[in-house]
Amino acid sequence: MPKPKPSTITILGVDPGTRRMGFGWIEFDACEPDRLVARGCGVIEPEGRLSLDRRLAAILGELEAIFAERRPAKLVIENVFLSKSVSSAFVLGESRGVVLAVAGKYEAEVLQVATKTAKKAVTGRGDSDKEEVRVVLDRLLHLGGELAKLPLDASDGLALAYQGWREHVTQHMATKMATKTATKNGATL
């Protein structure tokens, strides 16, 4: 009897913005979650002269194409943070709304994380700067310097996906340990 095909899980990370939105996706086998592969990252950058509603529409179209092609099981998005400007916070919220709506349409699980949490997952420190995150992430994912060729927003999106993967692995290991302990004690789950 042939082995069943491994189940691939795709996690998409998105660093929201209306001028430039970073994204990155990671894939791994559900049975071997420690073997992850960075499949890509980039930025969605609508024309700067467009009005906000047109930029959001452009972002919506590009995000839907990414979701349709990749079918991520999970979306990891930067959580709301306090901004220096109230109007900037509102615009960022509108951008996040577009991302969350697309995730809902494609039935992706949503994980909202703080920027510091994603930075800590990559570098071990929540106060790392964007360049340090990019360098460490490039090394962790064996990308051979490719991230340096892209805007920092792209590596921010990939860092969010990496955080989603780390959380998945943590949950997977906890479930395995609980099952092992329950089985050892004669319980069934």
Active site residues: 15, 78, 153
Q: Is residue 24 within 8 Å of residue 97, measured between CB atoms?
A: no
Beta-sheet strands, E only, within 30-121: 32-44, 74-78, 109-113
Residue whose structure tokens are 């995000």:
63
CA dist 56 and 16 (Å) reads 11
Query: How many Å is the Cα radius of gyration of the chain?
Result: 18
DSSP state of 21: E
CA dist 10 and 168 (Å) reads 11
Classify the C-alpha dihedral 179-182-185-188 as positive or negative. negative
How far, in Å, are 34, 68, 124, 132 from residue 172 at the CA level? Answer: 10, 26, 21, 28
